[in-house]
Amino acid sequence: MLKMNITEIMGVLPHRYPFLLVDRLEEMEEGKRVFGYKNVTINEPFFQGHFPDHPIMPGVLIIEAMAQVGGAYTAVVDKVDENKVTYFVGIDKCRFRKPVLPGDVLRMELEIMSKRRGIYQFEAKAYVGETLVAQAELKATFADK
């Protein structure tokens, strides 16, 4: 099983602060699954406007964080060269269950559903502790930069 720290993740994803939304990857099993983690702090720039008196991580950024976990996984498994970038190409069955707050550790679990014609499909779930906070089916592929 592979693991990746933030430096290794930045080696395969083009995202940078303030849009890099995954801190580490664990339990990367080729063809099966990957777990990603995001430490959510009050210092996140989106909390300034979402919402100043009641900070909640935007749901679309939870989905983006899960997509980044999938993108890093696909880049490592397919050994993508530096002339390619992972693109998020689809989302289905998205649901938000509970808010994500400053101080939470977002654990993202992606199960690989399929890989056909260069498109990966994941069943993605995000948890805080044991509580499911969001879920979706995500699709990703590679494209030239």
Q: Which of 15, 33, 50, 115 is catalytic?
A: 50
Q: In degrees to the nearest 10, what's the CA dihedral of 63, 68, 74, 80? A: 150
Euclidean distance between CA atoms 39 and 142, whole angstroms: 27
Euclidean distance between CA atoms 26 and 85, whole angstroms: 21
Amino acid occupying residue 129: G
Q: Is 113 in contact with 34 (CB distance < 8 Å)?
A: no
15 annotated active-site: no
Euclidean distance between CA atoms 71 and 14, whole angstroms: 10
Report the catalytic residues: 50
